[in-house]
Amino acid sequence: MSEQEIDTHLRTAADHVHEPHAWGRLEWYVSAAIGNSTTMTVGKCVLNPGQANGRHYHPNCDEILTVLKGRIINTWNDEERVMEEGGVISIPSGVWHSARNLGDEPAELAISFSSAYRETVGLEE
């Protein structure tokens, strides 16, 4: 791998792509849009206290969500489950889901997708 290829794939915290939302923010580390993967999307979801991202699904990829900080309720279609730090859920393509922060501090969720071209349907603000 050339130095230029390494520089394209190696990113620092300053390089993260921040996507603000009313409920918190998404931080993107890896994706086709960023230009450092053709197979995956990787990032972090930060949920403000008491806030939830909108119900949505991904028609073209699976999602793995890991609770890094905090405590959330994760919805899966019509079911709800409490998830604590270290909890992991694998969400197949097409499953409606969302996360709501149960705590008084921001919750942080590691998120990764099985496509570098992640699509989202139904995300509500």
Residues 40-76 have pLDDT tens digits of: 999 999 999 999 999 999 999 999 999 999 999 999 9
Residues 81-120 have pLDDT tens digits of: 999 999 999 999 999 999 999 999 999 999 999 999 999 9
Q: Which of 62, 84, 81 is nearest to 73 (CA)?
A: 81
Alpha-carbon span 45 to 60, nearest angstrom: 19
User: Does residue 46 lie in a domain region?
Assistant: yes
pLDDT (0 to 100) of residue 9: 78
Look up the domain containing 38 and give its range.
Answer: 3-113
Taking 80 as the threshold, does the pLDDT of residue 121 lie above it? yes
Alpha-carbon span 101 to 31, nearest angstrom: 26
Alpha-carbon span 4 to 17, nearest angstrom: 20
* CATH number for 61: 2.60.120.10
Number of structural domains (the chain) is 1
Q: What is the pTM of this model?
A: 0.91
User: Does residue 47 lie in a domain region?
Assistant: yes
User: Does residue 124 lie in a domain region?
Assistant: no
The sign one gets for the Cα dihedral 69, 98, 60, 46 is: negative
